[in-house]
Amino acid sequence: MVEWMDNMNEFGTYIKKIRESKNLTLNQVALYSEISAAQLSRIETGKRGVPKPATIKKIADALRVEYDSLMIAAGYLEPTFLNKGDSFSKKEEKDIAKRLEELRESRGWSKTEVARRLGIKTVSTYANWEYGIRTPDKDMLSKIASLYGTSIDYLITGEKGSKRNNTISKEEKDIAKRLEEFKKDLTEQDGLSFMGEPMSEEAIESLTDAMEHIFRQTQRINKKYIPKKYRDKEND
């Protein structure tokens, strides 16, 4: 077995992180995978060790993630195809994953929302970049840098260049905070529905996206009509 994960606890932690990011309970995954909740718990805590490929396939299907990704995380496969010719050190791969998460959270976006904005069809592809299982190639890093108004160098090294949006503006922080509060209000409501139908995760993301557009438009219009002397004070 390839020594990709340092130990079995890391594989279990990885599985747990994916499950929690999808707001799934152990019992739900147990139901979808036909694996007992007790066995899944032992896998997550590292008490059972890395499961067999057949079990990993069931978990991957239940979590709706790529089977190969879990096989890499478990150490059965070598991650030889990660960067399509781009060479990053282990530290750079870890730092890229960390910065992707930080930038996403600074905007108040979910992984699903970032994947949509980048034109990625499956959210698990993007999620694996944040988890450090895979690393985007430099073409994709360029798209990510453009999305956040930063540079590829910043994503790789953390060094801030001269590009104007390397630091998050006050306006962006305000919008991120409003979106976070809006999503919190939505998710904390019991029996949330639209026109009598329960709202799916995709519907909530779509509603959040629409609210972000409203926040930005309102902020832009409001700023346009604020007297210049007050705008200057805001920018001080």
- Shared domain check, 193 and 153: no
Q: Is there a domain that residue 79 lies in? A: no
Q: Is there a domain that residue 80 lies in? A: no
The CATH number that applies at residue 117 is 1.10.260.40
Q: Is there a domain that residue 27 lies in? A: yes
Q: Is there a domain that residue 83 lies in? A: no
The parent domain of residue 224 ranges over: 170-235
Counting residues of the chain whose pLDDT is more than 90, the rounded percentage is 14
- Shared domain check, 143 and 177: no
Q: Give residue-wise pLDDT tens across range 14-40.
A: 889 888 888 889 999 999 999 999 999
Q: Is there a domain that residue 162 lies in? A: no
3-class state of residue 103 by DSSP: helix
Q: Is there a domain that residue 3 lies in? A: no
What are 75's two structure tokens?
């150490």
Single-letter amino acid, residue 155: L
Q: Is there a domain that residue 81 lies in? A: no
CB 150 within 8 A of CB 165: yes
pLDDT at 25: 92
- Shared domain check, 222 and 197: yes
Number of domains in the chain: 3
What are 2's two structure tokens?
């390839």
Q: Give residue-wise pLDDT tens across range 71-118.
A: 878 877 765 444 444 567 888 888 999 999 999 998 888 888 898 888
Domain boundary among 26, 50, 74: 74
What are 233's two structure tokens?
């004070």
For residue 26, how many other CB atoms are within 10 A of its CB?
17
- Shared domain check, 148 and 95: yes
Alpha carbons 35 and 122: distance in angstroms, whole number: 25
Domain boundary among 74, 104, 123: 74
- Shared domain check, 102 and 46: no
CB 63 within 8 A of CB 127: no
Residue 194, beta-bridge partner list = 197
Q: Which residues contact 7 (CB under 8 A, 6 or more apart)?
A: 46
Q: What is the pTM of this model?
A: 0.46
Residue 193, beta-bridge partner list = 198
Q: Is there a domain that residue 57 lies in? A: yes
Domain boundary among 129, 157, 185: 157
